[in-house]
Amino acid sequence: MMPSMDESLLGNGVQKTGGVGENLVLPEVRKQLYLAGPLIAAWMLQNIVQMISVMFVGHLGELALSSASIATSFAGVTGFSLLSGMASSLDTLCGQAFGAKQYYLLGIYKQRAILVLTLVSLVVAVIWSYTGQILLVFGQDPEIAAGAGSYIRWMIPALFVYGPLQCHVRFLQTQSIVLPVMLSSGVTALNHLLVCWLLVYKIGLGNKGAALANAISYLTNVSILAIYVRLAPVCKNTWRGFSKEAFHDIPSFLRLGVPSALMVCLEWWSFELLVLLSGLLPNPKLETSVLSISLNTGSLAFMIPFGLSAAISTRVSNELGAGRPQAARLATRVVMVLAIVVGILIGLVMILVRNLWGYAYSTEEEVVKYISKMMPILAVSFLFDCVQCVLSGVARGCGWQKLGACVNLGAYYLIGIPAAFCFAFLYHLGGMGLWLGIICALVVQMLLLLAITLCSNWEKEALKAKDRIFISSLPVDMTT
């Protein structure tokens, strides 16, 4: 039986006494690993979709590959990062509502997020339709610009499916329902191979077919999750059908959604900016290739802390919503230790395989040797990236997205990018200098997020969560 609004929201409900004991640490570790494991697999499988499309295009020729690669990068910067960032506001909203046992709010939040993301997608679709002209303005080769413009136009349908997909994932994740997310992503990735083969080769759409395949696969994924939400008994309290309440209080969603998007985009864009800077270095083909391999390697390894980040945002938001600040603090301490352990282990692996890793991407000795020099730097950056990633998850769980956006703006654009420019061009360290600049940004980002986390008053954060849920629970005429 669900608690009444009076019992769960009007009362303080915050546990101020009764510290956490050592006997709670192992159960907390198990909870986080249970959440993180399937989510790591799910995020990897979701990212594979666009990678498979580009791989199919690569067999159609060099021009097709270059066009698809630039279009995919442009799509990530202008569209997918924005939608993913805005959807991450559900980490706070749905997570805290679930912890407070106001289950019906999760369905309202999900519908409201899908509505807003669809409207945002309309604006992004207009920008995508002019991608070719935009790339020409930035001095891109006319043939490549035209090819990228054509490819991304066929990706526009994927834009309108990606937003609802991210909302469904967050809706389930915040309820600790993660196995269906992993399984649906696995089915989609396998299905995507078949869809790409049919559209690219059998039907003969070429690179246009590879772009359209993204939309079909995202639609498959979100359809599986939507059917699960509709039919699964575990979702009967959190999904009660469509409601007109989703159309109300959109400004409050934007107050959290816009900083959430900025928090993600500011970090994402900085790495894309590095690729542009690498093209200005001496021997740009080598530098760009090595930096792209480094980014690809880092992105692959990043899925592990990203899974931990999703897990901790769920744990913290649930516990704060439930009025258990001490449990939220314990979860934060546990995930920081896990992040350090993961960062050290993966970093050691990077160092051990440094002389071999380059062969996975190239047979050129010059590239392989350069990669072997980059791997230790990549290993160091990954350790800091692990810690900042889970601290960003804590920030999402608490609703600190505005602080997180300010931290990312300062760390990457006031420190990281200028430092990368100085190391690369003034001290002539090339691509290694660009990555050293990113390490500077990661260190500053980590230290600032750590300071915010350590100085936070968890009892006050629990009360803020209660206030947020209480306002959302009021009838529409009272909220105005």
What tens digit of pLDDT does each residue of 408-425 get? 999 999 999 999 999 999
Same domain, yes or no, for 198 and 163? yes
Same domain, yes or no, for 233 and 91? yes
Same domain, yes or no, for 50 and 160? yes
Residue span of the structural domain in which 204 resides = 38-248
pLDDT, averaged across the chain = 88
278-310, pLDDT tens digit by residue? 878 888 778 877 887 888 888 888 899 999 999
Prediction pTM value: 0.88
Q: What is the DSSP letter of 198?
A: I
Give the total number of structural domains in the chain.
2
29 within some domain: no
148-174, pLDDT tens digit by residue? 899 999 999 999 999 999 999 999 999
400-410, pLDDT tens digit by residue? 999 999 999 99
Same domain, yes or no, for 47 and 177? yes
- Choosing from 217, 248, 279, the residue where a domain stops is 248
224-268, pLDDT tens digit by residue? 999 999 999 999 999 988 888 888 888 889 999 999 999 999 998
Same domain, yes or no, for 153 and 217? yes
If one counts every other C-beta atom within 10 angstroms of the C-beta of residue 187, the result is: 15
173-194, pLDDT tens digit by residue? 999 999 999 999 999 999 999 9
Predicted pLDDT of residue 473: 64
CA 458 to chain centre: 25
- Lookup: tokens for 94: 């749905």
- What is the rounded distance in angstroms from the CA atom of residue 431 to the CA atom of residue 289? 10
What does the pLDDT average to over 61-86? 86
Give yes or no for a contact between 192 and 139, defined as CB atoms under 8 angstroms apart. no
| 31 pLDDT more than 70 | yes
DSSP of 332-381: HHHHHHHHHHHHHHHHHHHHHTTTTGGGGT---HHHHHHHHHHHHHHHHH
Same domain, yes or no, for 75 and 171? yes
What does the pLDDT average to over 364-393? 92
